[in-house]
Structure 1
Amino acid sequence: MATVGQDTTDTAARGAPLHRAERDLVALGILVAAILLFVGTGSTVLTGMARSWIYGVGKPDVLLTNALILNIALLLFGWRRYAELNSEIAERRKAEEHATRLARTDALTGCLNRRSLDEAIIALVDSAAESGGEVAVMMIDLDKFKRSNDLLGHKVGDAVLVETAQRIEALLPPRALLARLGGDEFICAAVVAPDSETVIEQLALQINDALAEPIHAFGLRAAVTASIGIAVGSRGVVPNAAHVSQDLLHRADLAMYQAKRRGRNRFAWFEPNMETELHFRSELEQGIREGLQRGEFVPYYEKQIDLETGELTGFEMLARWISPQYGLVSPEVFIPVAEEIGLIAELSEALIALALEDARTWDPRLTLSVNISPLQLRDPWFAQRLLKMLVAANFLPARLEIEITETCLHENIAVVRTLITSLKNQGICISLDDFGTGYSSLAQLRTLPFDRIKIDRSFVSSLGQSADSASIIEAISSLGRGMALPITAEGIETADVLAALRRFGQFKGQGYLYGQPASAEDVKRELAALGLLTSTAENAPAPDAPITDTATARRA
């Protein structure tokens, strides 16, 4: 029935213009006939009427007079219809222009849209070929726009996109084009003279600076930055203008992602090795997905030591990927990728479950620390799932320490506070990781119920070489004592650093001085040798006796 209805509608739509054309043809015939009739009868009738009125001779022919009056009426009708036709044609032309504009431009910002972008760049490429210039393309992507859009609302998000387009357009040279690809991606392109790298970079810097300025809309303040990828090419790169267009867009897109990986709010030029990186990135993403299903991700453990006594107090769980293709892969490689493709929560929880099973066999006085991704902090059900894992592993919550990086506090402080409170209510300890590298305030430390702060390894490892690092650690140590917060120092790699740390107070510490992170099997063998497994309880020390790694104590 839908098809029949559609056919009927189409037939009616086709019939309407035909009907109008027939009416217009009839009106045109009437107008032509009226003109001919007026020419044929007008002179005779008007001459007779003039003689009758002026000289009183004879009378005008009534029939011809009536015909002339009818003829005048027909002329007026024809003229009115002619005016209506002109008005209708003008309206149709305006509607067609509006429809064409809607089809070629973005409804929100007024920029070109994806449909018309290729054609516009092809025209630029042809123009550059004639003038001897090159086409420069910039791919502009707003950083973390989705998060801002979710927090402030879609009305503010739309206002940000409109203002972004206006700020970019104000900086572009004449005859440059600006397009919105959808979402928060923009493309600008222009013909430039050869060897114009400096000019292009200045424009990119100006765009970065302009977009970094806050945007005020509906009483709210939005702050976004942009990552920009730049590619330059001409017809000589590939066979024809259409291929040049696609090649430039592809290259600019690769460069834009490189700018994001370098820290965002910057620009990057396309380089040939980016193609290789893209291929590697694609393989890496596929490897992570398959490796997660095959159980290739495993926990490794780094010792945590009481610096004053040399006692082993616990371990921090670190993620490792044992890949058949790449070997042992560092988390610095795969964790950012897992976050971007949305697998970090599944990966993290799988590793936590394995770590809880491993740590269950350790001496009950040994703790387990695990890091939480900022993405997991946005999940309102994370605390409940973590509690289920603790119950399944029969692991005491008090032995688990969750580490939250300092930069997470600015994602959404209300959500972070709720999660921390929920975890604390379950008896889990909360540690503020990488302290000193973010923007946390004393008010946040006072209002959020942290149990420990961890000094970032960048300050600790340079302790013997940098006076600034020593000052920062001394300040953090004083802060910890004043707020009754224990402190852990990461990155202890030499005896000199250890000796310097001891001067600032009592710390827990971890680092390569106490050994490289080890697999679960290696940790289990070492703890078994020390009598620190629950399965060898008869060899375990008394409850109040120190848990000492003798090799560690000798190094300390």
Structure 2
Amino acid sequence: MHAKGPSSGETSRQRKVRLGAAERDIVTLGIALAAILMFVGTGSDVLPDVIRSFNGHGHGPNQTLVTALLLNIALIIFGWRRYNQLTSEVSERRKAEEQARILAETDPLTGCLNRRSVAPATDRLIAQARQRGQAIAFVMLDLDNFKMVNDLNGHATGDVLLRAAAERIAAQVPADGLLARIGGDEFAVVAPFDPADPAVVDRLATRLIDAVAQAVFVNSLEIESTVSVGLSRSDDDDAPVDAQTLMHMADIAMYHAKKRGRNRYYWFEHSMESELRFRSELESGIRRGIPAGEFVPYYEKQIDLATGEIVGFEMLARWNSPSLGLVSPDLFIPVAEEIGVIADLSESVIRQALLDARHWNPKLTLSVNISPVQLRDPWFAQKLLKLLVEANFPPNRLEIEITENSLHENIGLVRSMITSLKNQGIRVSLDDFGTGYSSLSQLRTLPFDRIKIDRSFITTLPDSKDSATIVQSIVALGEGLGLPITAEGVESEEVLHELRKFSGLKAQGYLYGMPETARTTAEELAQLDLLLERAEAVAATAPTPPIARRQA
């Protein structure tokens, strides 16, 4: 299970030094052996004369032979000491090489194998399993939202979580299996199994998910984490596969599990590769499209139910992709968040929307959704203020919409952000209300200016008593807290009829028209005499090029 040792990386100079030392050791050993032989020969002549002289018989030994004998003794002592030193050096060298091998093959944080060593170890397991009529399962695990744990709690907490995950995963690994840390928050388990019983791998994946899901306590902090798992098997194809192929297939399956909601596992299927290629094209297209200005604002009307007049617009981002056509934000927003470009994308679209909206009648407001990722940016409020100054747009006409689910990530940071935005004169609304289980204390302590009822309750309003009860409760809650209400998803006259039973509501939805481009919106406002300068405002909005339908 070991990777190639560190000696494979030694330089030519190091090899010459090591060989030279070995040659000197051999010469020293030869001198010591010669000294011992000479001592035996010389001692047989000198020692009898010494003994006879000591007993008072005969003459003393020959001085030349005595000198030679003493020299032999000195050489033997020197050789013996050098032999002991050599033995000690060899022992230390072996310890150093073993330590270097361990460092080269294992992850220092968790003690698992690392990416370099797991591949050859897996190849050996594949060969052994094939001889026994077994198959190899490659299990790829990736901790969900690990970056958020690091960002919010620090890398020391992240390291504790990684070590805890490694220990829990190791407890589930079969005795003949392998465990490796592939990357920052990725682990791999490799285990042989009977091809006739693949359910044993399913059970292993389930145990791994359950084990990692247990909370980790760091000081007084409770950290919860889930894991997405991808599975591949060595007998999946007719052609033999190697470790790198298994790892690639498991990685694709793991990514598929993340897209399907995380905290689950999937076996690799070849159709997933096509999805991955499409995902890669999306990522590349998004990165190219932001500086190219392919992301543009569309505008959805917001209506005062009491008067039927337009009181503002919600800005919705669209992607004019040269290859895909007009792409919905449901497709590109999650990808932009995952690859870390959502802030750049959002700021580019907000910048254009502010330039468009400054030509509208001052009584019309502009609502803009922001990503939960942007809420974690402590400089977001300052960036938004810069955009307002550049566009010369009044802050009191801008309304930032924060989704209810984002309140649970870091309530302290959200409170600070909302306060900073309101200090600049920007209004803040709570979007998708009713789906994120906000507590009344949050609504009372967070200084929101408006509540937007989630469309799932509005669209089912005529046919669902539960939805009607929920909407009625939210409206009453808004009245009690002094928060105006906007109903999203008004798409039929039946829904509109039900909403008119309540007072003081704003509404938006396809009943009032689909979201339109900046130019179409300006032309409609010009007809209603709601532009500051009609001709100039319409001309300022770039015409929208014709776009082919989005490819299936």
Do both share a fold (TM > 0.5)? yes
Counterpart in 2 of 1:267?
265
3-state SS of the aligned residue for 1:260?
helix
Conservation of the 8 A alpha-carbon contact between 2:229 and 2:266: yes
Change (3 A) 1:96 1:235: farther
Change (3 A) 1:80 1:324: closer
Match of 1:428 among 415, 426, 429: 426
Partner AA of 1:227 in structure 2: S
Counterpart in 1 of 2:281?
283
Deviation at 1:351, TM superposition (A): 1.9
Counterpart in 2 of 1:230?
231
**Per-residue Cα deviation, 1:23-55 (whole angstroms, up to 9, x for no partner):** 5334423432344345446677777888999xx
Counterpart in 2 of 1:324?
322
How does the TM-score come out when normalised to structure 2? 0.85
More displaced stretch, 169-178 vs 357-366: 357-366
Deviation at 1:123, TM superposition (A): 1.1
Deviation at 1:13, TM superposition (A): 5.4
More displaced stretch, 255-264 vs 292-301: 292-301
3-state SS of the aligned residue for 1:518?
coil
Match of 1:380 among 373, 378, 381: 378
- Alignment partners' CA distance in 2, 1:22 and 1:404: 75
Counterpart in 2 of 1:447?
445
Give the unaligned 5+ runs of structure 2.
1-9, 536-552
**Per-residue Cα deviation, 1:117-173 (whole angstroms, up to 9, x for no partner):** 221121122122212222211221111212211222222222222221111111011
Counterpart in 1 of 2:474?
476
- Alignment partners' CA distance in 2, 1:44 and 1:16: 42
More displaced stretch, 405-414 vs 10-19: 10-19
3-state SS of the aligned residue for 1:182?
coil
1:159-178 matches, within 5 Å, as 159-178=160-179
More displaced stretch, 515-524 vs 171-180: 515-524
- Alignment partners' CA distance in 1, 2:23 and 2:323: 75
Match of 1:413 among 406, 411, 427: 411
Partner AA of 2:422 in structure 1: K
Counterpart in 2 of 1:156?
157
Counterpart in 2 of 1:542?
none
Deviation at 1:371, TM superposition (A): 0.5
- Alignment partners' CA distance in 2, 1:116 and 1:146: 25
Give the number of equivalent residue pairs. Answer: 524
Change (3 A) 1:65 1:420: same
Counterpart in 1 of 2:505?
507
Deviation at 1:452, TM superposition (A): 0.6
3-state SS of the aligned residue for 2:514?
coil
3-state SS of the aligned residue for 1:171?
coil
How does the TM-score come out when normalised to structure 1? 0.85
1:38-77 matches, within 5 Å, as 39-40=40-41, 58=57, 62=61
Partner AA of 1:178 in structure 2: L
- Alignment partners' CA distance in 2, 1:235 and 1:98: 38
Deviation at 1:340, TM superposition (A): 2.3
Counterpart in 2 of 1:554?
none
| Residue 109 (structure 1) aligned with residue 107 (structure 2) | no
Counterpart in 1 of 2:144?
143
More displaced stretch, 348-357 vs 482-491: 348-357
Partner AA of 1:201 in structure 2: D
- Alignment partners' CA distance in 1, 2:431 and 2:192: 49
- Alignment partners' CA distance in 1, 2:46 and 2:328: 106
Conservation of the 8 A alpha-carbon contact between 1:152 and 1:220: no
Change (3 A) 1:532 1:14: closer
Counterpart in 2 of 1:463?
461
3-state SS of the aligned residue for 2:401?
strand
Deviation at 1:16, TM superposition (A): 5.1
Change (3 A) 1:163 1:303: same
| Residue 205 (structure 1) aligned with residue 206 (structure 2) | yes
Conservation of the 8 A alpha-carbon contact between 2:378 and 2:417: yes
- Alignment partners' CA distance in 2, 1:11 and 1:268: 48
Deviation at 1:103, TM superposition (A): 1.1
More displaced stretch, 406-415 vs 206-215: 406-415
User: Percent identity over the alignment?
Assistant: 59
- Alignment partners' CA distance in 2, 1:95 and 1:392: 62
Deviation at 1:346, TM superposition (A): 2.2
- Alignment partners' CA distance in 2, 1:208 and 1:498: 46
Partner AA of 2:348 in structure 1: A
Deviation at 1:321, TM superposition (A): 1.9
- Alignment partners' CA distance in 1, 2:60 and 2:21: 38
- Alignment partners' CA distance in 1, 2:279 and 2:101: 40
Change (3 A) 1:35 1:452: same
Change (3 A) 1:58 1:489: same
3-state SS of the aligned residue for 2:182?
strand
1:242-321 matches, within 5 Å, as 244-321=242-319
Match of 1:525 among 523, 526, 539: 523
- Alignment partners' CA distance in 1, 2:181 and 2:284: 30
Change (3 A) 1:386 1:75: closer
Change (3 A) 1:35 1:410: same
- Alignment partners' CA distance in 2, 1:99 and 1:536: 75
Counterpart in 1 of 2:3?
none
Counterpart in 1 of 2:397?
399
Counterpart in 2 of 1:369?
367
Conservation of the 8 A alpha-carbon contact between 1:167 and 1:211: yes
Conservation of the 8 A alpha-carbon contact between 1:456 and 1:489: yes
Conservation of the 8 A alpha-carbon contact between 2:403 and 2:430: yes
3-state SS of the aligned residue for 1:379?
coil
| Residue 29 (structure 1) aligned with residue 30 (structure 2) | yes
3-state SS of the aligned residue for 2:126?
helix
Conservation of the 8 A alpha-carbon contact between 1:404 and 1:432: yes
More displaced stretch, 517-526 vs 500-509: 500-509
Conservation of the 8 A alpha-carbon contact between 1:300 and 1:318: yes
Partner AA of 1:352 in structure 2: I
Partner AA of 2:228 in structure 1: S
- Alignment partners' CA distance in 1, 2:400 and 2:513: 22
Conservation of the 8 A alpha-carbon contact between 2:404 and 2:430: yes
Deviation at 1:65, TM superposition (A): 8.2
Change (3 A) 1:228 1:45: same
Conservation of the 8 A alpha-carbon contact between 1:129 and 1:235: no
Counterpart in 2 of 1:543?
none
Partner AA of 2:450 in structure 1: R
Partner AA of 1:336 in structure 2: P
Conservation of the 8 A alpha-carbon contact between 1:128 and 1:234: no
Deviation at 1:74, TM superposition (A): 5.6
Change (3 A) 1:512 1:351: same
Counterpart in 2 of 1:343?
341
Counterpart in 1 of 2:216?
215
Conservation of the 8 A alpha-carbon contact between 1:45 and 1:60: no
3-state SS of the aligned residue for 2:113?
coil
Give the unaligned 5+ runs of structure 1.
1-8, 538-556
1:90-129 matches, within 5 Å, as 90-129=91-130
- Alignment partners' CA distance in 2, 1:35 and 1:235: 68
**Per-residue Cα deviation, 1:474-502 (whole angstroms, up to 9, x for no partner):** 33223212211111121222333333344
**Per-residue Cα deviation, 1:354-376 (whole angstroms, up to 9, x for no partner):** 22233233332222111111222
Change (3 A) 1:42 1:312: same
Change (3 A) 1:247 1:52: same
More displaced stretch, 516-525 vs 331-340: 516-525
3-state SS of the aligned residue for 1:138?
strand
Conservation of the 8 A alpha-carbon contact between 2:253 and 2:267: yes
Superposed CA RMSD in Å reads 3.1
